[in-house]
Structure 1
Amino acid sequence: MVGIVLASHGGFADGIAQSAQMLFGEQDNFAHVILSPDEGPNDIRSKMEDAIASFDDSNEVLLIVDLWGGTPFNQANGLLEDHENWAVVSGMNLPMVVEALTQRMTNPDHTAKEIATAIIEPAKDGIKTKPTDLMPKTEASVQGGAGVAKPAKSIPEGTVVGDGHIKYVLARIDSRLLHGQVATGWIPAMHPDRVIVVSDSVAKDEMRKSMIREAAPSGVKAHTVPIKKMIEIANDPRFGNTHALLLFENPEDVLTVIKAGIDLKTINVGSMSYKVGDINANNVLSMNQDDVDTFRELEKMGVEFDVRKVPTDKGGNMDAILNKAQSLLDEQKK
């Protein structure tokens, strides 16, 4: 595994590392070092060397620094002289670090140099403006949004593409829908070509739909559809080559689509935000009685639950979570 070191002037590297690990969870062979105002070049170099010495393998190391020509860069560059497999990338931003961790997770055989090359474009693509016309004309193309969820007009209705059935690479309950953990963790891990948010309420909200489109990583189309439309899409044989990641706000919507015939055997349970009347079943799942009853009904139908925020998390015990939730709800009624 490639070891990754973030280095910066001041606390920048610390903050970027904290943000990245909020999305990916704690990372091995991942370090962040800073140059404080009262320190010099030897101090930051020593911190880099200590960080690298803590890695399982120091043969492949990627150093990501803030400024080209700054002290962290110069010291990182000096370390490269004796290590031909290492690489340095400057201009550190969060999309760059997220992509580095994604590359390392999904391509464990990649070298430091291969990851260095792979993180440049995502770092650039992470720079966008609102309004979009503030972007320089030469960069405007990176802000293209995805269209609506429908097959190409050139495919006649009734045409069977592939085997005529959508491939569901992941179905996830997450009240935050398409956000950082999904965009940087689940999408690279599951490789969908389409993300579909299934929600009657969100499908009516143009602002949220726009935000969802813009949150999708490059190369993945994102759509928001009401439940009825999702059922139509699932039965349309023209989507036979589609690999979809489905996002639901709650278990009730999942139950509705499964009863309508959408074949979802496993549901990833990510997060359910608190609403008035809910209890906190754990630190990320808040439920009411309807939610617990729905999960139990899904369970009786043979649906399995994968309780993880990100792919690298250890799976939780859904039965234990539901038992705790029911106990707290019973206490609430007294």
Structure 2
Amino acid sequence: MRTILLISHGDMAHGVKSTLEMIIGKQDTIHALSLNEGEDNLIFEERLLKKMKTFTGEVLIIADLLGGTPCNTAIKHYVDDPNVTVIAGLSLPLVIEGATNFSLSNQELIKSARQGILDVKMALTQVEPEPENPIAKKDYSHYAGKAVIVNARIDERLIHGQVAGIWTTSLDTQRIIVANADAANDPLQKSSLRLAAPSTMRLSVLAPGKAAENINKGKYGKQRIFLLFKTPNDVLDFVNAGGKIETLTVGNISYKDGAKEITKSIKLMPQEETIFTTLADSGMTIKAQLVPNDPAIDFIKKMNDK
């Protein structure tokens, strides 16, 4: 497995590492080294060489600034080392890609990180929603009942860093289906979700009942589908419309007045507990898991123990 070393002036490298781990969990293969205020290049050079001696195998060094002391020091010692890559332009999107997608080449890593730089307000006015052709206009019967749902997940934030950057890519997702009526009926939300979704994946934003109908009729063929709900009630609506879910993952439900904390990221209102009990009684397996590296927790047991 590749080791990643972040190097920077000041605390930037440690800050990026800390933020990364907040999003994707603890990363033992990612390290940070700073050129602190008052230190010269010789002190940093000594600490860099000492740090690099602790690594074996492939190392990716990501420096904050092209031409800066951290970058120049790394190039000085490792320009001819085939096991060490040095990239300048430290950013969170770049590190997330490097930490979660080992198959990307150096140039692909850089290209992917650049795609995270965007004038969001301008882009929102330009994004055209993906057309949802009525099922009646095409015969999908050949694929009926053959949908491949790689994950069904409740996450109140919908498409965000953990979903777009980690869950969907780790599961080789081909289509994200957001099953939430409010989002489906709001053009601005739909445009925002399209911007947040990985460019390599198809996206559908539908009411839960419509999502169940489309999937059951085979509209998406054998695409690998990541099914994303905002609330427990979305899941119940999907199931009541004939949608089939064997295993449900709960990631994030935020606090509301009167909610009970189940995990740090999941707080439930009494009516939501009732919905989860109903889903579990129907035979659905429900687990809590924030990121793939975290252990999956028996959600119903955790909820009942609180």
Q: TM-score, normalised by structure 1?
A: 0.84
Check conservation: 2:287, 2:300, Cα contact below 8 A: no
Q: What is the CA distance between 1:2 and its match in structure 2?
A: 0.7
Aligned twin of 1:39: 39
Q: Equivalences for 1:310-321 in 2 at 5 Å?
A: 310-321=291-302
Is 1:132 the equivalent of 2:122? yes
Q: What is the CA distance between 1:214 and its match in structure 2?
A: 0.6
Q: What is the CA distance between 1:101 and its match in structure 2?
A: 0.6
What whole-Å deviation, never above 9, does each CA across 1:90-146 have from its counterpart, x for those lacking one?
A: 112111111001113xx5xxxxxx642331111111111134379xxxxxxxx8666
Q: Equivalences for 1:1-334 in 2 at 5 Å?
A: 1-55=1-55, 58-81=56-79, 83-104=81-102, 107=103, 115-132=105-122, 147-150=130-133, 156-160=137-141, 162=143, 165-325=146-306
Q: What residue identity is the alignment partner of 1:29?
A: T
Secondary structure in 2 matching 1:73: helix
What whole-Å deviation, never above 9, does each CA across 1:180-228 have from its counterpart, x for those lacking one?
A: 1111110111111111111112222333222111101121122321122
Q: What is the CA distance between 1:250 and its match in structure 2?
A: 1.7
What whole-Å deviation, never above 9, does each CA across 1:48-102 have from its counterpart, x for those lacking one?
A: 33433444xx221000011222111111112314632111111121111110011
Check conservation: 2:247, 2:286, Cα contact below 8 A: yes
Identity %: 31
Q: What is the CA distance between 1:231 and its match in structure 2?
A: 2.3
Check conservation: 2:248, 2:285, Cα contact below 8 A: yes
Structure-2 change in CA distance of 1:320 and 1:48 (3 Å): farther
Structure-2 change in CA distance of 1:308 and 1:46 (3 Å): farther
Structure 1 CA distance, aligned partners of 2:12 and 2:173?
33
What whole-Å deviation, never above 9, does each CA across 1:133-176 have from its counterpart, x for those lacking one?
A: 79xxxxxxxx866614448x9x9522445566321111101111
Structure 2 CA distance, aligned partners of 1:32 and 1:315?
29
Return 253-262 or 44-53, whichever deviates more. 44-53
Structure-2 change in CA distance of 1:103 and 1:45 (3 Å): farther
Structure 1 CA distance, aligned partners of 2:113 and 2:288?
31
Q: What is the CA distance between 1:16 and its match in structure 2?
A: 1.4
Check conservation: 2:250, 2:290, Cα contact below 8 A: yes
Check conservation: 2:233, 2:275, Cα contact below 8 A: yes
Check conservation: 1:199, 1:253, Cα contact below 8 A: yes
Structure-2 change in CA distance of 1:240 and 1:65 (3 Å): same
Aligned twin of 1:110: none
Q: How many residues align?
A: 305
Structure 1 CA distance, aligned partners of 2:132 and 2:84?
43
Check conservation: 1:160, 1:240, Cα contact below 8 A: no
Moved over 6 A (4+): none
Q: What residue identity is the alignment partner of 2:175?
A: R
Structure-2 change in CA distance of 1:162 and 1:237 (3 Å): closer
Q: What is the CA distance between 1:313 and its match in structure 2?
A: 0.7
Check conservation: 1:7, 1:34, Cα contact below 8 A: yes
Q: What residue identity is the alignment partner of 2:272?
A: D
Structure 1 CA distance, aligned partners of 2:31 and 2:208?
44
Structure 2 CA distance, aligned partners of 1:199 and 1:76?
48
Q: What residue identity is the alignment partner of 1:51?
A: K
Q: What is the root-mean-square deviation of aligned Cα atoms in Å? A: 2.4
Structure-2 change in CA distance of 1:10 and 1:149 (3 Å): farther
Return 202-211 or 242-251, whichever deviates more. 202-211
Structure 2 CA distance, aligned partners of 1:240 and 1:4?
38
Structure 2 CA distance, aligned partners of 1:38 and 1:272?
45
Gapped regions of structure 2 (runs ≥ 5): none
Gapped regions of structure 1 (runs ≥ 5): 108-113, 135-142, 326-334
